Amino acid sequence: MPRMTIPMLNEKRAAGEPIVMVTAYDYPGARAAERAGVDMVLVGDSGAQVVLGYSSTVAVTTDEMLVLAKAVRRGTESAFVVCDVPFGSTEVSDAQAVETAVRFVKEAGADAVKLEGGNQDRLSRIRAIVSAGVPVVAHVGLTPQTATALGGLRAQGRTVESAVRLVEEALGVQEAGAFCVVVEAVPAEVTEVLREALRIPIIGIGAGSADGQVLVLHDLLGITEGRPAKFVKRYAAIGEDTVAAITAYADEVRGGAFPTAEHQYAAAPEAVEAAAQRIASRER
C-alpha cells in the first residue's frame, strides 16, 4: 500500500471517509497498527505514562520521545507517522520549536509533528515550524501538557468562555498552517460547530463524531490500569491476559511443568558422553 499523504487525508475528509489514527510507542505496536490498516500513527507523549511510567506527560524528554519515534517509524510502511513534541521542547522560542521539529523529521523520519495548544505563542511556533517545511498537527481542547493551567484533566468547551476560546484556537491553528487538528474532550455539539468552520481534518478524542478518531493504543487494548477516561472504549483485555499468561508461566516453572521435551534441543548421545567424560577427567 502507498504511504498515506496529506492530500490523501484531505480527500478522505472531503469524501466523508473517517480517518483512523492510533498511538504507538514501539516496533510491535507500530506493526500491529500497520497490519490493521490505520491511516495515521501518533507517537503520543501519552507514552510518557503508558510505556515509561511517568505520572504525567510533562516529564518526558525529546531524546526519550525520539527513541519511541524511531521504533515506530521502523514498524510502519503506509501509515502517516505523527510525533508529539514534548513539553519544554518548543516553549522557549520559535527557533527552539523548529530545532525540535526538525530533529523528529531527520532523526526519526516523522511525517509531521503535533503541538498542543492554540494561544498566540503556540500559533507563532506552528507558523515557524510550517515555514521550516515540517507539517504540523495541532491539538486543542484538553491539552494534557498544560492541564494544570486548565484546572486539571477536564473536558473543555462546556461553558460560553471555554467554547469561544476553543473556536478561536481551532481557527487560529488552521490559519497558522496546521494541516490537521486533534480536538480532545469537547462536547460533540461544539465539535460539530468546529467541523462547519474548519477546512482541515479534525481528529477527535472524546469529542464526538469528527473527520477521524484517535485512541491511545494501551487504552483500547485494555493494558492501562485503573479507570479509563470517559471517552475510552476498550476493545480487548490484554492487560489481564498478560498477567494471566505470566502467572501460568511462573506456576509451570515453579511446578516443573515447563520446559518439556518439545521445548528442548536434542544432542547426539556421543556429545553427552563426551561432556560427562570431560567433567569426570577434570574431577580426577
User: Looking at the annotation, which residues are catalytic?
Assistant: 184
User: Nearer Cβ to ligand KIV, position 186 or 214?
Assistant: 214
* Set of cell numbers at residue 2: 502507498
Nearest to 50 by CA among 114, 144, 141: 144
In which element (H, E) is residue 141 found? strand 136-141
| Residue nearest ligand KIV (C-beta atom) | 44
Contact, 96 vs 90, CB < 8 A?
yes
- Report CA 28 to chain centroid distance, whole Å: 13
Contact, 113 vs 82, CB < 8 A?
yes
* Set of cell numbers at residue 33: 497498527
What ranges in 81-226 are assigned the alpha helix state H?
Answer: 94-108, 120-131, 160-176, 188-197, 217-220
- 3 state SS of 272: helix
Distance (Å, whole) CA 146 – CA 116: 8
User: Nearer Cβ to ligand KIV, position 144 or 172?
Assistant: 144
Number of alpha carbons in the 13 Å side-chain half-sphere of residue 58: 8
